[in-house]
Structure 1
């Protein structure tokens, strides 16, 4: 039970609203002299944080008691002449034996920790318009930002409040960079420090524009294949859809060739003209299959598309066997040496940002919605979709721990599996992309900058 209580202390501090509501409700039902409301509860939580009333004990462990400190209290009581048992010792009144030493509050970086170590501003190139799937990145953006022409500029903050001493620029991908691959953009605009990358895409760029992924933003790829369960009753897996079902997908998706090679779909079924519009799906009433994102399209079609307005059914590509790491922070290889000191400090901040966003993404989602409104580039992104995506990424484990309970950590065997899958895909005459000869997982990912103590509880 003690580790459960330790977790509860950490989780309450991270997201106290639910527990505070229960406390206020309990006080109301007790109907005694005590009056307690949400404003006072929120003030109390913040005061506990500001004053350090809650936090880690020795060795960064929550709930861990310091025997020397306890002994000091005993000594002061004895000196004051208070009546206590003779010879009372620390061991008589405390023990740490049931404490889980792996549980503690994240250690926040010091203010200015990145100043003079990392580029200023530090530029992150994303792969699409600003959206909740980029939440861990926007979690780094401090207040007082400016957004224009596909770039938002502000301070790089850690744990939502600690100014790291440098600026941050987040640049949109997709149409903002002419639909170029992020890897290509990183070689054209060499000031870009981190770029969004995937392990399958990193295989494809390994020869001419190599990228090394330093942290997995998403543990599970949100891409899926969805269908209308009313039109395809009883279908539980995409492979069970009728053989004449059209699969609508974005152009050039690498996994389409894997689907064909695996015999899950025939090339004649695939239509690569999807552009994010709901038109084709609505016109067919879901009589087609669609490759899209589990964190986005189910909400769009059920809630934002009244012409359809029904739940969809889907299967994640991850569960079908295509287990790429689809959204990672990647760098050009030379940065592993030239900017090692920066990466050693920065990557743990990125890890914690992913956890903070999943635990409480409301403020960051509001930033994402505001940034899109400021760009005014035709992309519409509402708070309802952002909140849905944030919740689904947590519920489905899309953002979660990698091996050994470490957020952002790559499973090297899994990466090698994708390398092995993609070698014949890039050799396909329709793609014909030369890749690094003898490529292995170690050529495209590294776990060396991750803090193994940072993970979801």
Structure 2
């Protein structure tokens, strides 16, 4: 549930096309995880042996990270970790290369796997339990709470201080809207994914009304375009506003206003880098070194996104069978929006990527009765300590 599923850039692709894209496409070679280090001629220089950046022996030979969507700039901090020997595998939907920090090879590889249709739209937490080769996954707070009984995960790094999940409206059609409360005082339809837990919160809080919400949203802009922007719709602040203004085609262009779901009192940590809860102890030595490297990568990506964005765009273009598109303009917009809206920031201190217990506790309070009502009770006695840790965070690393 944590991810506000994406599909605007898929535009008019069908579910069949997405399925075929997930199952087809030719790999441009053999197993990158096995071969990258042996045959790379353009690898980054090595870090000092035994130093803080040397992951050899501390981490798996290939650190496998499962994302929840196609390659995109919201996960630039992950793609920024991949060295110049990056290998794009369109068949297996992943990118593999040397794991680098500050331009230097840490001694292990990293494999970033695509999600969404590439894993049959399964939640990342579910995929992590199906495929134990995955070391870390992108899991939002609400998904972690939902699956706390059978597929527990623990967040170790929060790439977003504020989740980019939002609901948007066309400014010209609704000039008086400034918040979701304004929408709730009208009969405007609100499209969303029916499995997104935040909607039950918005209804319970009286912000929106049951009669106006529609859970049939499938990620495509067809309904919005058909109604010429008269409806409101869920999405990502880093994506849909740019797409709907610049990339719908056929003369369609919409200047949208929006409110972040976070700002309604739903303070989840979106797309947090997480481990299977039972594997934390086994990975502790790796996480102690890796998490600070990830923190630095996020700082570096925000300052200099060009290399990672170029890899993201290259990976998307390489998969000719896919209906996912990602333009340089959208990539640049995503980064700028992360900055302008402080979606990526240090938060209340000088540290990037750490999490606040009070926010996690508030999410438990919000979601426990919601999931109970859906006959999906959360873990008995669930506490924030079950869901996150700042143990591996280097408090000296943050945005300047």
Alignment match, 2:189: 246
Deviations 1:113-155 (A, max 9, x none): 0011101111000011111111111110111211122111111
Give yes or no for contact 2:346–2:353 (8 Å, CA) kept in 1.
yes
* Cα distance between partner residues in 1 of 2:161 and 2:398: 12
* Structure 2 counterpart of 1:389, from 334, 345, 354: 334
Matched, 1:338 2:282: yes
Q: Which runs of 4+ in 1 moved over 4 A?
A: 109-112
Deviations 1:416-441 (A, max 9, x none): 1111111011112xx32121101111
* Structure 2 counterpart of 1:354, from 291, 298, 303: 298
What are the equivalent positions in structure 2 for 1:242-391 lying under 5 Å apart?
Answer: 242-306=185-249, 307-376=251-320, 377-391=322-336
Matched, 1:126 2:67: yes
Alignment match, 1:218: 160
What are the equivalent positions in structure 2 for 1:61-210 lying under 5 Å apart?
Answer: 110=51, 113-148=54-89, 149=91, 150-159=93-102, 161-210=103-152
Q: Which has the higher helix share?
A: 1
Deviations 1:330-380 (A, max 9, x none): 001232211111000000001011111111111111100111112232211
How far residue 323 of structure 1 moved from its aligned partner, in angstroms, is 1.0
* Cα distance between partner residues in 1 of 2:114 and 2:210: 32
**Structure 1 116/218 Cα, relative in aligned 2: closer, same or farther at 3 Å?**
same
* Structure 1 counterpart of 2:176, from 234, 237, 241: 234
Aligned residue pair count = 348
TM-score (norm 1): 0.74
Give yes or no for contact 1:111–1:163 (8 Å, CA) kept in 2.
no
TM-score (norm 2): 0.84
Deviations 1:203-235 (A, max 9, x none): 101111100000101110101111112111222
Question: For structure 1, which runs of at least 5 residues remain unmatched after alignment?
Answer: 1-106
How far residue 112 of structure 1 moved from its aligned partner, in angstroms, is 6.6
Give yes or no for contact 1:111–1:164 (8 Å, CA) kept in 2.
no
Matched, 1:445 2:383: no
Give yes or no for contact 2:70–2:114 (8 Å, CA) kept in 1.
yes
* Structure 2 counterpart of 1:407, from 327, 352, 359: 352
Q: Secondary structure at the match of 1:220?
A: coil
Give yes or no for contact 2:180–2:208 (8 Å, CA) kept in 1.
no
